[in-house]
Each structure stands twice: as C-alpha cells, then as structure tokens.
Chains A and B, each alone.
Chain A
Amino acid sequence: MLTQSTNIMEEDYTFNHKHILGLEQLSANDITFLLKTAESFKEISTRQIKKVPALRGRTVINLFFEPSTRTKLSFEVAAKRMSADTFNISASTSSLKKGETLIDTARNLAAMNPDIIILRHSYSGSPGLLARHIKASVINAGDGTHEHPSQGLLDLMTVQEAKGTIKGLKVAIIGDIAHSRVAHSNIIGFSKLGADIFVAGPATLIPPGVNQMGATTCKTIAEAIDGADVVMTLRIQMERQSESLFPSVREYANHFGITPQVMRLAKPEAIIMHPGPINRGVELSPELADGPRSVIMNQVTNGVAIRMALLYSIMGGGES
C-alpha cells in the first residue's frame, strides 16, 4: 500500500530529509509526496484496528516546552498508530533558567537513544539547535513565531481534499500574521504549491517583508476575501491587546472577524479554516465555525495522517 503511493511521484524522487524544521526546507515535490503519503495513511484511521507496524521498535519523544493539547495529542496518536514507543515530556518554559535550557535536555534525552524528537518550543529556531546536538531526527511541532510545518501540511491536505488542487487557488489568511507560526508555514507551503495568498489584519500584526514570503498584503479583510477559495482565520491572542497591537477585542471582532456577511464576498463554494482553538465570536462567527463551509474538523482528522506521514518519511519509509 505504502510503496504504491510513493510510486505516484516522479520515478527518481526520494524523500531525503532527516529533520522537519520547516516547510521552508521542503521542495514542492517533498510536500506533494508527504500529502500523498498522508492520504494513504488516512485510511488506517478508519480501520477497526488502527495500527500498522511501520515504526515498531522506534522511540519517539514528544518534547513540549509550551502548553499544547491538540498538537501533542495528534503526534502521540500518530506515533502510536505507527507502533512506535512514545514518551511525553512537558516542561514549562518559565521554569527553565537561562543557560541550562535545550542543550542540557538534549544531552539527557540522548541517553535514551530516541529515533525521533518532536519539539514544541517558544523560541524560534530551537528545533535546529536541538538537531545540531542530538543524533535523533527532529520534527518541529511549532517554534516561537517561526514555523509549524505539520500544521501547514495538514492545512494543505485539507484544502487539496476539498478543492482537488492547490494551484491557482486564492487563499485569504486573516488576523495576527506577525505572531503566527501557522500563518508562516501556510504562506510558504501554499505558495510553493502555486496558490495566491492574500493576508489582512490590523497593520500592527502584519509583519515587515511578508510579501517576500509570497503573500500579498491587503488593507481590508474584504479585499483579501473577495473571490477567495479558502478563508483561513487565525486565533487572536488576547494578551496582544496590552501591547497596543489592537485596541480591544470588540474592535477586533467588528473589523477583522469573519462573519457570514463578509463571507459573501468569497466564492460560494469557499471553505473556512482555523488552526484552533477558536475564539468564537471574535475572529470567527460561531455559525461559520460550525457551519457547512467549515472544514475545521477535517483539519484535525488530517493532522494525524500528516503526522504519521512525517514520522514514516523521516525514518526512511520504514526501512531500518
């Protein structure tokens, strides 16, 4: 089953990455390969016995320095479905003292001889730092405001399923682009596969140089959503208000929240996405979040399949 799926690719293609640090490092071919591999894994989750032996005997560590429920659970489920031995280590970043952080942890983990470390960390670039200090493969499960590659891939997979293709789609990403690693990975991933990305939000939350990443900046959300195939809105962090990045939640909801009214500007068959957890009534109206155009639950389902594909691919497709 799995070998077949890889044969869909060009003949001389091989997935050749030891670590998954970001979508930046992956080619369009790599991404297409991962999406196809994930499609084939998705079927496993519908079986009665949801387990394949692909990673039997492998050790996977979930190393989370930031609170996370869904991403951690999703990776854990994915690793278990691949029959890997999985361990969860959570540490609050606040308890870590400067100078004795990630590298000390890496040294301790090395003693356990893990094959894969899945890292969530509040500092950008930390997965690369870990990768330089440990023999295991490292998967970035979200680093600071840098990237969240597995989320980017599952979003691509969800859109591909809904639309049949990525190329040529108009994708609107609305909200806090500056602090969103999800937005960064999506901008990179969608542009690599040929979509046109439009971003909008409070100008305080649109980072400099976002155009160089492949997105077009719009002044209003209406402009971004006009004719869109995909509307993705991002979680707004309430604490940004105290940094004067937006005046109030009410003002944000009124001007940057996705409502049925503004969705009329999108294509009739446009889908709505959100990386979760949603502030219903702030960045997204409840009726849209739970309505027929929402693919938010598909995102969650695809998350497990994508993460299975990532674990499988960096282990060389199951060969030992």
Chain B
Amino acid sequence: MKNTLLLNGRIIDPANNIDATGSILIEQGLINKVFLSPPPASVLEQCEVIDVSDKWIVPGLIDMHVHLREPGQEYKETIASGCKAAASGGFTGVACMPNTTPVNDGQEITSFILAKAAEAGHCRVYPVGAISKKSSGSELSEFGELKQAGCVALSDDGLPVMDSQLMRRALEYSGNHDTLLISHSEEMPLSANGAMNEGALSTSLGLRGIPHVAEEIMIYRDIALACYVGRPIHIAHISTRESVDLIRRAKAKGCQVTTETTPHYFTLTEEAVGDYDTHAKMNPPLRNSDDRLAIQEGLADGTIDAIATDHAPHADMEKDVEFDLAANGIIGLETSVPLSLALVRDNIISPSQFVELLAVNPARILKLNAGTLSPGTPADITVIDPGKTFTYSKESIVSKSKNSPFVDLNLQGKAILTILAGKPTYSERD
C-alpha cells in the first residue's frame, strides 16, 4: 500500500497544541509523521500526495450521541446507512444509544452492533449500553458484561431513570467497572405529553409545553447524586440557560461532570416550530433565544465539553402527522460540521475549540484512543473546507431518513475528506 501525504493544510490538533500549516504522512493506517515545514522531496515521491491547501486537517470527528436504530427499526436507519452518513459528515466515530429494539442491555446486542459496524466499515461505532434492563428503570443491567462486550458508556437515553435510588445505585456500581453514565435528564411528570417548549408560543399554538425546569431539576439530581457517590457523570443534550449554569457551578466545585449540547440548541429556537413544523419537534425541545445564547456562552467558556448531534432518524410517515403525534428528533450527522463552523465564523468559539468540542473532548470523555493527530495513533483524520458552501438538499442526504429542519438551506463549511485508519471513507476530491 502506498503511503499518503496530506500536503499543506492547516493542522489543528489541540491535544498537541498545534495550529499551523503543515503536512501529515499516513503509513500503514497510522499517522507516521507531522511536518510543520515543507516535507522533503523523497517523501513526496513515495506518496500519494493530496493537496489540502487552505483546508483544515483535524483529528477524525466523534459524535458521542447518535441513534442508529438497528436492531429493530431498520426502516429509519441501519448501522451501515448511519455510518455512511457519519463519514460523509466528517465523523470517524459515533457512540450509539441503546434504545434499539430490543434495547442494548446485554452482550448479544452489543456484539451484534459491533459486527454490523465492522461489516459496514465506514466509521468506528462505540456502543452505549443500557443502565437498566430494557431501560425500564427498575433493575440494573449487567454493567460488567456490557463493558466486556465493548460498551464505552451506559445510558437510558430516551427512557430516563426516574427512580433516584436506582440512579444512585447505578452510579455507585459504575465504579466497579469504571463505566461512564450518560444521563438524559428529564423529570417525566413535568414534561409528560409535552410537545414543545412551554411558554407564550406553546400557549398560542395550543401545544402542551415542556417547562425548562423539567430538564434542570433532573440535571441537579444527577449531579448531586454523582457528587455524593464520587463518580463521574455525563449530562446529555443540554438545552437551557439554567442547565448550563448548574453544570458550570458543579464543575467549579470540582464535581466530575461533563456535558454536551447539539447544533440545534445553539442554532434554532422554539420559533422554528412556526406553523406546527414537526421537524422542529425534539426532546428536549428547542428553547428560547436566551437559552440559545446561554448554550453558546457555555460552548465558548468550556462549560459544555462536546457537540453531539442526537442524530435521531425517523421516516416521513412519522413526521408528516399531527404535531402531537410526530416522533421526537432530527438527523444531524451531515449538518453538524457546518452548523458548528458557524460558531467559529461568529467568533463564539475558536477553530481549536471547534476541534475540542467535536473530537478531543468526546474522545477524552469516552476514554477512546482518538481525538489527536499524534504520530503512532490510528490515522482517523477529517479534512474540512471551511469556506465550501452547499445546499443541504433532501436528495443529497446520505442518512436513510431525511427528517431535518435544515433541508434546502445553504450551509457553509463541509468535510471534504474523511479518513478512517488511513483509508478514505468519504471524499469530495475530483
């Protein structure tokens, strides 16, 4: 196999404190060398040279919160289609939530997911196992077995753990297996049957509201329990100002808490619901403009560690219905890069922070051997053209489902080359 040289790009590798023009030599699927001065002619001669002038070379991006739907709901997405979508969005790794059918609460499903992912080959898949059996919130699942099978974390995403005693036990027991718990924090009695953020808009649309306190109360509980038992916790997809504040204060106190948000929470507000647009229906719901601002502030000051998409594919028939009946969630893998780059253009985050949020920190939180461009590590690399504009048309979507509020919008910034262990999984080079 010929070696590859990514020539003359802007290398942004915060883990190694690099933000400079340079070239990267890939050999045998590993990063062999990073050149910060022009590589010698001998190297150029031996390599397939890819000129990436004016492009960013960053560690392969990792989306730590996606739903791949397989097994059980293959009509929405399969592991193969989801991984292909991930690659075309610039991702080399995704962590998939356990709310499949059946729920990923044991080694059988975990192994199935890993086998399917290996077969597909577009992207590394990191399964997240369930905290409770069937995510039913009553008994702990077998953490040890799940960890051994390859789960990188545990979560009852979508069916949050209501019982505080069970959550406490889960946090305690997670210490034995050194597994991270990811909490979808939601006080269900407060959010029950809600369809959108509660406020003047939900009143005027006649839709049942989900108050922001439903999220915040549970985040507080989860942080309090984690601190009490001295275990780390990761809070999924935060959407409100108070959620950001709670986590900022907990971090200041030294609690081991990390968090993520999604591009839709820093891009959109509840106004996107407009005339009952079900593509603006998700859980947690889109909030108001002050919440959106607070999310941006949390990203800027490092309170929020990661940008994840909560990629939630649904078929047209599940969205083209009455708002109350519509499924929650949107796809996100193919819009995360442009929407996150908008924060860079607006000077809310730096290019290095962009890489931290989408690669370095997800790898750190999930303890993955990824997120850097260090020589000797697998050559998982994303090349981004921050200036490239494109129309996110329905026809262009790689994911099996097309449920996105960003369809037909002109977006700027795109992964043009995704490399997994030295091999391109997505390429827009002519």
* Contact of A47 with B by CB under 8 A: no
With a cutoff of 8 Å between Cβ atoms, the chain A residues found around residue B208 in the complex are 145
Given the complex, which residues of A lie within 8 Å of B205, measured CB to CB?
124-125, 146
- B209: chain A residues at CB < 8 Å are 208
Which of B201, B320, B321, B324 is in CB contact (< 8 Å) with A209? B201
A128 to B320, CA, bound (A): 12
Residues B322 and A102 in contact, CB atoms below 8 Å apart = yes
* A147 CB–B CB distance under 8 Å: yes
Over the window 264-289 of chain B, the binary record of Cβ atoms lying under 8 Å from chain A Cβ atoms (1 yes, 0 no) is 00000000000110000000000000
Q: What residues of A have a CB within 8 angstroms of the CB of B105 in the complex?
A: none
Interface string of A201-222 (1 = CB under 8 A from B): 0000001111111000000000
A191 vs chain B, min Cβ distance (A):
12
Q: Is B198 an interface residue (CB 8 A)?
A: yes
Kindly provide the distance from the CB of B205 to the nearest chain A CB, expressed in whole angstroms: 6
Which residues of the partner chain B approach A99 to less than 8 Å between Cβ atoms? Answer: 317-318, 321, 325
Question: Given A128-B275, A181-B206, A184-B204, is A123 in contact with B324 using a C-beta cutoff of 8 Å?
Answer: yes
Q: A129 on the interface (CB 8 Å rule)?
A: yes
B325 touches A98 (CB 8 A): yes
B residues near A145, Cβ cutoff 8 Å: 206-208
Chain A residues near B201 (CB-CB < 8 A): 209
A-B contact count (CB 8 A): 76
Choose among A101, A124, A178 the residue that contacts B276 (Cβ–Cβ < 8 A). A124
Q: Count how many chain B residues have C-beta atoms less than 8 Å from C-beta atoms of the other chain.
A: 22
Is B203 an interface position by the 8 A CB rule? yes
Check if A24 is an interface residue, CB within 8 A of chain B.
yes
Residues A213 and B324 in contact, CB atoms below 8 Å apart = no
Q: Which residues of B contact A143 (CB under 8 A)?
A: 206
CB <8 Å contact, B321 and A124: no
In the complex, chain A residues 66-124 whose Cβ is within 8 Å of any chain B Cβ: 98-99, 101-103, 121, 123-124
Which A residue's beta carbon lies closest to that of B323? A125
B200 within 8 A of partner (CB): yes
In angstroms, Cα B321 to Cα A101, docked, is: 8
Determine the distance from Cα of A57 to Cα of B277 in the docked complex, in whole angstroms.
35
Nearest-Cβ distance from residue A99 to partner chain B, whole angstroms: 6
Could you tell me which residues of chain A, from 119 to 146, have a CB within 8 Å of some CB in chain B? 121, 123-126, 128-129, 143-146
CA distance A178 to B204 in the complex (A): 10
Q: Is the CB of A209 within 8 A of B276?
A: no
Q: Which of A99, A102, A143, A147 has the most CB of B within 10 A?
A: A99
Q: List 28 A-B contacts (CB under 8 A).
A: A102-B322, A103-B320, A123-B325, A124-B323, A124-B324, A125-B322, A125-B323, A126-B322, A128-B275, A128-B276, A143-B206, A144-B206, A144-B207, A144-B324, A145-B206, A145-B208, A146-B206, A178-B203, A184-B206, A208-B199, A208-B202, A208-B203, A209-B199, A209-B201, A210-B203, A211-B200, A212-B204, A213-B203
